[in-house]
């Protein structure tokens, strides 16, 4: 499973430290930041199939940073009809 978080981390070296700490505390397969995204996105993929979202949020909070789950945007029925080939539902 992959979970995506919005963060307030802007420095690449801080992102690197945060990823190391996440790997120390959780069985995470992959963690990566996209600091060029306006939401300063943190993507987490778990080995166990579930991402401990509350634990990730608490861990970052304890380090002085904010994190919140970034919700998937679901297209409306009209958008799907008008742009049928552009939207692919994620299961």
Q: Which domains can be identified in the chain, with CATH numbers?
A: 2-69 (3.30.70.100)
Backbone angles phi, psi at 73, to 5 degrees: -90, 120
Average pLDDT of the chain to the nearest whole number:
85
**Residue 67 vs residue 28, higher pLDDT:** 67
Long-range contacts from 79-84, C-beta under 8 angstroms, 24+ separation: none
Helices 12-25 & 53-62, crossing angle to 10 degrees? 130
Q: Can you give the pTM of this predicted structure?
A: 0.76
CA distances to 3, 16, 21, 27, 62 from 71, rounded to whole Å, are 9, 24, 24, 23, 23
Rounded to the nearest 10°, the torsion over CA 21, 23, 26, 31 is 110
Q: What is the pLDDT of residue 87?
A: 47
12-48 pLDDT, tens digit each: 999 999 999 999 999 888 999 999 999 999 999 987 7
């Amino acid at each position: 499973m992959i979970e995506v978080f919005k963060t307030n981390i802007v420095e690449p070296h801080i992102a690197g430290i945060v990823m190391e700490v996440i790997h120390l505390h959780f069985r995470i397969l992959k963690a990566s930041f996209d600091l060029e995204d306006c939401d300063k996105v943190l993507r987490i993929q778990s080995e166990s199939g579930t991402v401990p979202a509350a634990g990730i949020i608490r861990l970052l909070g304890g380090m002085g940073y904010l994190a919140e789950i970034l919700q998937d945007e679901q297209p409306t029925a009209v958008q799907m009809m008008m742009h049928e080939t552009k939207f692919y539902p994620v299961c």
